[in-house]
Chains A and B, each alone.
Chain A
């Protein structure tokens, strides 16, 4: 389960970012922000690939001592970043992938809302609860 989930706009500003409340929020903000370096690099590397053949899941962006940061980029260059505790070895690549897919579809729902203005911060209860379900439950 994730400790931090973030949605980043095409222009690289955060649309949504939530982390487990027990830890320093700022630390995760920095972590997500720095991971964009790798995301940018990966996107520019696959820029030549055909759009429909492109893999959206970027995989492990970079490992730190305590956390693993995973990335996912939509065709409209909206990025999803997920931070997972390094000690959580139960999470395999496939689980991460499916979590991202869930996140993507939920984000699509947000975009489909006619009252949502693309580029605004996401303030959706449905999205919130979906993210909550993916986060580590803090007792």
Chain B
């Protein structure tokens, strides 16, 4: 038997297709025939009809047909299905034989050719004697045929040929050898396909016709056989629905057979075949649920049909195959577009197949453990004459015997022994691993990571067993006919170590991270065994570390055994073997370990422990989150062992991100210089289980590290000695391992009271890792004061007095001052702020906003110094100013002199405000508000300066700088010199200006600038005066055609003559006709021209003189002057009123004067 005896035969698994043979084709030497054959068989796509073609010679002998049985009465079948039957109908017995023959209709030697063709057909018919196989003739012709009916000769000769060959007209075809060969071929094969279907139909009818002769008692097997045949023929006919129906009937019939130990294998084999067909067709019909249901039914029916107990491994093998085959079918269906789900995918079937394969292995192990002296029986009972069985699922030593009684028990025994011995040579692990890896691939696809891990563990275990097995194989002397086994053996030995550890490491991580400790422990135990058996030192130590740890669920006795072994390993001795290991493997392992001991190689292993849960826990904790540079840095390392016995370590060292500190933080067994650790004795190098040990370290931080973070990058604990073996447990950062974060979380949630411990001991859970600390500079002992008068005024030199006083015990050196705008504020502020030390001159934009490192000198204890800073703020708003004083001081810590740099800073926020507000307005000479000024007519500019400063201001001077377009009417002298303004006070100035005529200017005419020079009244003499420039507003200038101004006294007196002179100026280039009239007034009498019309030349003026005589005292309306310009109707009296006074104050007649006048009179 081959190792693949459980595999389904190929003919069962393939898709049955109609079998058609082609004869008369010489595909080797004839190019035309070759082309025809290629067109038939090459490139068959799914849309072509399902036919399998074969080229055979014309005189090929087809399998002989057995003579027809007329009665089944005396016939007793010997088995269910012959092994050759399916193959026979797939590949040997054709549904149709096609005879190809080169013959054109206009062949000159027609008669001869016709009879040759007839002979050929006859030969084929001869060899198909008794079969229903159809025969067809294809004439290969060189000429393209004419349309049917047109070629008279052709139809005549065709009829003659049919007659000669005894063919029906439907079986004669013409194949013109022209360009459209493939098209003709496709039409041909469709015709063939129809013939084939007819053939299979008759076959089905033929098989069905047998049925009526059968009886239920003796022909039970035939019922199954016939049903199977009908189904198979239906498949060949491509009638899958009927095939499925018939297979289902066949399946039920199989289970109706009387099962007995002798025929159970045959029944199961056939049931398996039929089940396979049913499932396959169900998937093909896209009814996967039917397939699954059928398979479940099949498994349930067959699960208990174990058969012979001595060969029960065969049942397991068979079950495994059922599941595997179904998995394959399922997978294939998925590849063709079926969608599977997480809980129903091929993986489960592969997994179950693997379980049965494992069961098979177990059973084989118990049933086939014959001693080496048991020889394989001779002659081999498994040999048959043909090398093949006659019927599927029968025993080779009693083929065709249907009796349930064993006729020859001795023969049976020998047969079973032979099967058992054969089973020993099966590499079960390979089968199992293949199935498991199939399942893994599926579960990976369907999002089952845990299932995948679980299967990978099983794979790992299987690899482990496989190794065992290989060892066993080596020691047992196998005869040469198992030579083939050598290959898998090599495969296993090479693959196991690497694969196994990779697999284990991969899954261990998953179980660890999810906290399934029971599963982790079980895997680790296997891994430890493996590493022991292979003497993998590092792995052995790693697994031991974790098995001793708190995550392990092992019992204490196991743990103490492992710990003892670990200690042995550390002392460079061999460990004791792990329990439950194969004795032979242990022997090999012991030898390996002995080699390891004698081998003087690298004996130091560094194991990074943060990814697993070792039996020593570590936590590092700095005493504070930051340390001043002038005090030593203290930190503790806490260690706790979880193993059952105390364990000694040889070294504990800590590494930092600045490696210079590493040397200060080492505890070593040999070191006598225990300066870093007080009261260190040898006994302290031992960890007692369950007790938290604390190790205090301290070191002096370097002054360069001020402002930096010091981090513990790793903690190394060395177990064992360098003379023996050395294991370095390496914790990254400040300790902690794969489980500690979850534990810390639980501990923080817990509010259970912890049992009281002696003061010296600590609760492990209460220790929080603090793996880094900051080194900060020494605390400064100076005071920095700022004196100033806020708020600052825009652009002034604002004085800031900095006072630094030293409170240090020793002299401080190199005192430096950094002062100015605090960095990190608005970028515009930096440009609008200047800082200087010299207040005597104004600073400009080139001055910086921050003065850095101004050396100030040294300070003796208690001494103080003062520094003045001047700040100029160009814009209003608040600013933060920084004053930063740094200095150096010598100090000693731990008898070491160091130079410390200290610094102190002060910040102050200063508001900047405008010193004063300036308001400007234009008024007419009559102090009336002006919206616009008139060309050449004087007007007044009034400035109003309102102090906004909380401090008194001195206006040093003010100046009006006129724009070229403006002229001053009189002297522009400042009227505000040396004026002191208190808060809220204001100072005003008035200037008389005139604007010459300009063209029409958009937006008005520039007036000029107003410059105010000022300083704080309190400022010192040498403080520069600040000039504030105010741009005066633009003014709109308008031209008028005529200007009138009046000369009149400031007041009049009742009954005294009041001379008034009006000047009329022509401002245009035209001669103007002017109508002037004066309206009478009640308060005045007057003399002069009451109404006149005159003409004024361009640029000249006309004078009008009036003598008013006031009649009433008080503020009186003057007789109004009306001017009418004939050319400028827009010039109204309204406008005129702006220039000339409309009223005058009239004083009453002076009595005193009267008296004197009277007296004089």
Task: Enumerate chain A interface residues (CB-CB to B < 8 A).
Answer: 11-14, 17, 25-26, 29-30, 33-34, 36-38, 41, 61-62, 64-65, 115, 117-120
Chain A, interface SS category: mixed
Can you add 13 more A-B contacts, CB < 8 Å, to A17-B518, A34-B448?
A12-B514, A12-B515, A13-B514, A13-B516, A33-B519, A34-B450, A34-B451, A37-B342, A37-B443, A37-B451, A62-B343, A65-B299, A117-B751
**CB distance B454 to A34 under 8 Å?**
yes
- A37 vs B453: C-alpha distance in the bound complex, in angstroms? 11
Given A14-B515, A119-B745, also A37-B750 (CB < 8 A): no
Interface centre among B299, B451, B454, B745 (most CB of A within 10 A): B451
Residues of chain B lying within 8 A (CB to CB) of residue A14: 515-516, 518
Tell me the smallest distance from the CB of A123 to a CB of chain B, in Å: 13
**CB distance B749 to A37 under 8 Å?**
no
CB 8 Å contact bits of B336-380 with A (1 = contact, 0 = none): 000000110000100010010000000000000000000000000
Tell me the smallest distance from the CB of A24 to a CB of chain B, in Å: 10
Identity of the chain A residue whose Cβ is nearest the Cβ of B352 in the assembled complex: A65
**CB distance B516 to A37 under 8 Å?**
no
**CB distance B746 to A120 under 8 Å?**
yes
- A25 vs B517: C-alpha distance in the bound complex, in angstroms? 13
Interface centre among B514, B522, B745 (most CB of A within 10 A): B514
Tell me the smallest distance from the CB of B329 to a CB of chain A, in Å: 18
Residues of chain A lying within 8 A (CB to CB) of residue B450: 33-34, 36-37
CB 8 Å contact bits of B486-520 with A (1 = contact, 0 = none): 00000000000000000000000001001110110
- A37 vs B449: C-alpha distance in the bound complex, in angstroms? 7
**CB distance B519 to A41 under 8 Å?**
no
- A38 vs B451: C-alpha distance in the bound complex, in angstroms? 10
- A104 vs B948: C-alpha distance in the bound complex, in angstroms? 78
**CB distance B447 to A37 under 8 Å?**
yes
Identity of the chain A residue whose Cβ is nearest the Cβ of B343 in the assembled complex: A62
Chain B, interface SS category: helix
- A64 vs B515: C-alpha distance in the bound complex, in angstroms? 25
**CB distance A41 to B447 under 8 Å?**
yes
**CB distance A119 to B749 under 8 Å?**
yes
Residues of chain B lying within 8 A (CB to CB) of residue A12: 514-515
| In the complex, B752 has a CB within 8 A of chain A | yes
| In the complex, B742 has a CB within 8 A of chain A | yes
Residues of chain B lying within 8 A (CB to CB) of residue A38: 342-343, 448
**CB distance B750 to A117 under 8 Å?**
yes
Residues of chain B lying within 8 A (CB to CB) of residue A118: 749
What are 15 A-B contacts defined by CB distance under 8 Å? A11-B742, A12-B514, A13-B515, A14-B515, A25-B518, A29-B516, A33-B511, A33-B514, A37-B342, A37-B447, A65-B352, A117-B749, A117-B750, A117-B751, A119-B746
Residues of chain B lying within 8 A (CB to CB) of residue A62: 343, 348
Residues of chain B lying within 8 A (CB to CB) of residue A34: 448, 450-451, 454
Which 9 pairs between the two chains have the least Cβ-Cβ distance?
Answer: A13-B515, A37-B448, A34-B451, A117-B750, A62-B343, A34-B450, A37-B450, A12-B514, A34-B454
Interface residues on B, range: 20 to 34
Tell me the smallest distance from the CB of A40 to a CB of chain B, in Å: 8
Identity of the chain A residue whose Cβ is nearest the Cβ of B751 in the assembled complex: A117
Task: Enumerate chain B interface residues (CB-CB to A < 8 A).
Answer: 299, 342-343, 348, 352, 355, 443, 447-451, 454, 457, 511, 514-516, 518-519, 522, 742, 745-746, 749-752
- A17 vs B454: C-alpha distance in the bound complex, in angstroms? 18
Identity of the chain A residue whose Cβ is nearest the Cβ of B518 in the assembled complex: A29
Interface centre among A13, A65, A119 (most CB of B within 10 A): A65
- A37 vs B448: C-alpha distance in the bound complex, in angstroms? 5
Identity of the chain A residue whose Cβ is nearest the Cβ of B344 in the assembled complex: A62
Residues of chain B lying within 8 A (CB to CB) of residue A119: 745-746, 749
Tell me the smallest distance from the CB of B1063 to a CB of chain A, in Å: 97
Identity of the chain A residue whose Cβ is nearest the Cβ of B323 in the assembled complex: A65
Q: Which of B299, B516, B746, B751 contacts A33 (CB 8 A)?
A: B516
Residues of chain B lying within 8 A (CB to CB) of residue A17: 518
Residues of chain A lying within 8 A (CB to CB) of residue B457: 30
Residues of chain B lying within 8 A (CB to CB) of residue A30: 454, 457, 519
Residues of chain B lying within 8 A (CB to CB) of residue A64: 348, 352
Residues of chain A lying within 8 A (CB to CB) of residue B745: 119
- A11 vs B746: C-alpha distance in the bound complex, in angstroms? 12
**CB distance A115 to B454 under 8 Å?**
no
Identity of the chain B residue whose Cβ is nearest the Cβ of A61 in the assembled complex: B343
Residues of chain A lying within 8 A (CB to CB) of residue B355: 65
Residues of chain B lying within 8 A (CB to CB) of residue A120: 746, 750
- A119 vs B451: C-alpha distance in the bound complex, in angstroms? 24
Tell me the smallest distance from the CB of B767 to a CB of chain A, in Å: 19
Residues of chain A lying within 8 A (CB to CB) of residue B522: 26
Residues of chain B lying within 8 A (CB to CB) of residue A37: 342, 443, 447-451
Residues of chain A lying within 8 A (CB to CB) of residue B454: 30, 33-34
Identity of the chain B residue whose Cβ is nearest the Cβ of A62 in the assembled complex: B343
Residues of chain A lying within 8 A (CB to CB) of residue B746: 117, 119-120
Identity of the chain A residue whose Cβ is nearest the Cβ of B745 in the assembled complex: A119
Tell me the smallest distance from the CB of A117 to a CB of chain B, in Å: 4
Tell me the smallest distance from the CB of B936 to a CB of chain A, in Å: 87
Given A37-B448, A37-B451, also A26-B519 (CB < 8 A): yes
Given A33-B454, A38-B343, A117-B749, also A11-B448 (CB < 8 A): no
Identity of the chain A residue whose Cβ is nearest the Cβ of B458 in the assembled complex: A30
- A62 vs B522: C-alpha distance in the bound complex, in angstroms? 24
- A33 vs B523: C-alpha distance in the bound complex, in angstroms? 14
Q: Which of B342, B352, B515, B749 contacts A11 (CB 8 A)?
A: B515
**CB distance B352 to A117 under 8 Å?**
no
Q: Which of B515, B516, B519, B752 contacts A115 (CB 8 A)?
A: B752
Identity of the chain A residue whose Cβ is nearest the Cβ of B303 in the assembled complex: A65
